[in-house]
Amino acid sequence: MKGIVLGFDPINGGLISAEDGKRYTLQLDAWRGLQPPRVGEQVDFEINGDAASEVYPLVNETESTQDDIGKTLTAAGKSLADATSRAAAEASVRLSEPPSNPTAQKLLENGKKVSASLFAVILICFFLPFVTVSCDNRPVFQMSGVEMATGKTVSTPDIFGSQTQSQKIPGDSRAALVFAAAALGIGTSLIKIRKSSLISAGIGAFGLVMLLSLKSEIDKQIINNGASYAGFKADYGVGFWGSILLFISAACLNIWLFFQKRTDRETTP
């Protein structure tokens, strides 16, 4: 049977308005979701007299909105990849410029290697803890960047209970795009094409924006899903903050390299 949660609190329980027009009581020990029930949440349950049992949350409008956002961000990532492909095509038309200052040229080459290294370390950060969700300062589950991109099945105790349950947390397209952007940044940092540093700087800015968007969405979900219990919170780990700092560093470094190249061309006799 399907229905909608009319109200709920952990002590007195709540009510579900079912498709058959009847109302059934909802007790905490019958709830099978990771987060506490929310008013208006769609659920699937079994009937046990006047009570609901085996109550599971269904996909809601928030998750549908996340899917729409994911499709939009995927399209943005595809556009970025297309722009990089067009830039790579310019590799066959190398600039026929006179030799620049050897010292400056060496500095620029080293800078490009550092840029590639920054993006490579971001990929390593994706295998480190990104976010830990806790309740009353007790960890509920932890996810790395790769797990946030691909999804993860977590085993957690029921809310206010000791029974263990498993639930699949779907991957987020933003995390996948960030991982792909870091891999792309390694290539654009090393290839010798026109404005490669500017493209790498754009990739760094794109990764930073996607990570901040991902954090904003997680924080919003914690507020929404944990609204009936103040103990829920998300702590961001070394993988997440390391990626943030590395994307900022890569963007700033490549902007500096771009202007250094232009200055070097202008001062070359």
Count other C-beta atoms under 10 Å from residue 245's C-beta.
14
Do residues 217 and 258 share a domain? yes
Taking residues 257-264, what's their average pLDDT?
A: 76
Q: How many distinct structural domains can be found in the chain?
A: 2
- Most confidently modeled of 57-66, 133-142, 204-213? 204-213
User: Pairing mode, if any, of strands 151-157 and 129-135?
Assistant: unpaired
Q: What is the dihedral of CA 262, 264, 266, 267, to 10 degrees?
A: 160
Residue with tokens 């950060």: 125
Task: State yes or no: pLDDT of 89 exceeds 70.
Answer: no
Taking residues 50-62, what's their average pLDDT?
A: 76
Taking residues 172-198, what's their average pLDDT?
A: 88
Contact status, residue 1 vs residue 54, Cβ threshold 8 Å: no
- Quote the strand ranges of 10-67, DSSP E: 13-18, 23-26, 42-48, 51-57
Do residues 15 and 115 share a domain? no
Do residues 109 and 240 share a domain? yes
Contact status, residue 79 vs residue 210, Cβ threshold 8 Å: no
Q: Which residue, 214, 198, 211, 210, is CA-closest to 250?
A: 198
Do residues 29 and 67 share a domain? no
- Most confidently modeled of 2-6, 65-69, 70-74, 227-231? 2-6
Do residues 21 and 116 share a domain? no
The helix/strand/coil state of 14 is strand
* Mean pLDDT, the chain, integer: 79
The helix/strand/coil state of 237 is coil
Do residues 184 and 255 share a domain? yes
Taking residues 158-185, what's their average pLDDT?
A: 79
Tell me the CATH number at 50.
2.40.50.140
Structure confidence at residue 228 (pLDDT):
46
Taking residues 211-238, what's their average pLDDT?
A: 78
Do residues 28 and 118 share a domain? no
Task: State yes or no: pLDDT of 63 exceeds 60.
Answer: no
Structural domain for 196, as ranges: 61-267
Contact status, residue 119 vs residue 189, Cβ threshold 8 Å: yes
Taking residues 114-141, what's their average pLDDT?
A: 88
Task: State yes or no: pLDDT of 110 exceeds 90.
Answer: no
Contact status, residue 247 vs residue 28, Cβ threshold 8 Å: no
The helix/strand/coil state of 241 is helix
Do residues 125 and 208 share a domain? yes
Confidence grade of residue 96 (pLDDT, cut at 50, 70, 90) = very low
Taking residues 226-230, what's their average pLDDT?
A: 52
Cβ-defined contacts of 68-71 (< 8 Å, 24+): 69/173, 69/174, 69/217, 70/172, 70/173, 70/174, 71/173
Of 57, 73, 98, the one marking the end of a domain is 57
Task: State yes or no: pLDDT of 241 exceeds 90.
Answer: yes
Bin 219: left if φ > 0, else alpha if -120 < ψ < 50, else beta. Answer: alpha
Structure confidence at residue 104 (pLDDT):
65
Structure confidence at residue 66 (pLDDT):
56
Do residues 128 and 189 share a domain? yes
Of 30, 57, 84, the one marking the end of a domain is 57
Task: State yes or no: pLDDT of 61 exceeds 60.
Answer: no
Tell me the CATH number at 125.
1.20.140.150
The helix/strand/coil state of 227 is coil
Do residues 129 and 253 share a domain? yes
Structure confidence at residue 12 (pLDDT):
79
Looking at residue 158, the DSSP 8-state letter turns out to be P
CA distance 158 to 172: 24
CA distance 168 to 152: 6
**Prediction pTM value:** 0.59
pLDDT tens digits for range 4-46: 988 888 777 888 999 888 899 988 888 887 778 888 888 899 9
